[in-house]
Each structure stands twice: as C-alpha cells, then as structure tokens.
Amino acid sequence: MVATRTPRSAWVEEGLRALAEGGPAAVTVEGLARRLGVSKGGFYWHFDDRGALLDEMLDAWERRVVDEVVDVVESGGGDARARLASLFSMVASGVRTSDLAIRDWARRDRAVARRLRRVDNRRMDYMRGLFREFCSDEADVEARCLLAMGLFIGTHFTAADHGRRTREEVLTVAAQRLLL
C-alpha cells in the first residue's frame, strides 16, 4: 500500500480558511492537520515551517484576487465599461473573508501590510487602465478608482440599512454611477 500525501495546495487552502475564521493565530500546524484529518508530519514534507506556509498563503491569495480576477474579466471581452462592469459584478458577489482577514492582519504585521499595499496597487493600476479608456481627466480616473475600492471594501464594514433596497441593489446602482 502506497501512502498518500496531503497535497501542498490542501494545506494552503485550509490555512486560508483558518485565517478567514480566526486570523493568523488560527493558522497552526496542529490545527490544520486536525482540520485536514492527517498527521502534522505531512506538513513538514511541504513546508519548512509555519512562516513558509503563511508566505504561500499570501501568494495564493494574491493570485486569486488579482491575477485570476483580471484573467476572468479580460477573457469576457468588451470595452472598458463592460470589463469594469464585469469586475464590479465579480467583486460585489462577495469579497472573500480571507481578504478581510488579511486586511486585519496587515494592521499588525509590516510584511503583510507591504503585501496588501502591493495587491491594492495592482488592483488600482488595473482599474486605472480601464477607466483611462473613457476618462481623459487623471483626477477623475483616480477618484473613480478610489471610490470603487472604497465601495467594495467599505461595504463590508457598513451596517446601515437601505430602506426597501438590498445591499446588492444599492451596490449595483453605485457601480453603475462609476461607469457614467
């Protein structure tokens, strides 16, 4: 009988889930092994230590929230407004809880804060390129990008009601305003 190793990606995915649920302190080798139903010895086959796992988790998160999102938006085609609408739709469908956990973690860890800044700058750069296709004023481009980022990140920290409208309906209208 050949022993089956838990794939490296399973440790990373479970680490991201644990991070989303309980922050970086919840990402322990023992806890992840328990969640995966395996011994912790398999962890050390893939990673030198917990720090290496945390770095790989951040790499996976960055690929997901920037590279994969851009790939999906670009593969859908269309003009800049259509691609922005697609981007806004993807983002409105749910900011991952890992994204919020990483923002919280970045408040206490300089390396994570640098990574978050890089990710946010990549996101802004992508939106700048799209907005520039129909906005000639650089101040307008920057304002629209900041409003979009603030809208989709800040909405998760806003507890206000919207009358008879759902949060999703209000987000849709707000995003449409950015595309005018």
The verdict on residue 1 lying in a domain is no
Report the pLDDT value the prediction gives residue 175, as an integer from 0 to 100: 92
Report the pLDDT value the prediction gives residue 95, as an integer from 0 to 100: 61
The verdict on residue 128 lying in a domain is yes
pLDDT at 1 over 60: no
pLDDT, tens digit, 9 for 90 and up, residues 85-127? 999 998 877 667 788 999 999 999 999 999 999 999 999 999 9
Overall domain count for the chain: 1
CATH classification at residue 88: 1.10.357
The verdict on residue 172 lying in a domain is yes
Residues in the chain: 180
Confidence category of residue 4, pLDDT binned at 50, 70, 90 = low
| Domain enclosing residue 156, as ranges | 54-178
Report the pLDDT value the prediction gives residue 108, as an integer from 0 to 100: 97
**Which of 69, 71, 32, 76 lies closest to 50, judged by CA?**
32
The verdict on residue 12 lying in a domain is no
pLDDT at 51 over 50: yes
Average pLDDT over residues 134-151: 97
Confidence category of residue 41, pLDDT binned at 50, 70, 90 = confident
The residue that leads in pLDDT, 3 or 136, is 136
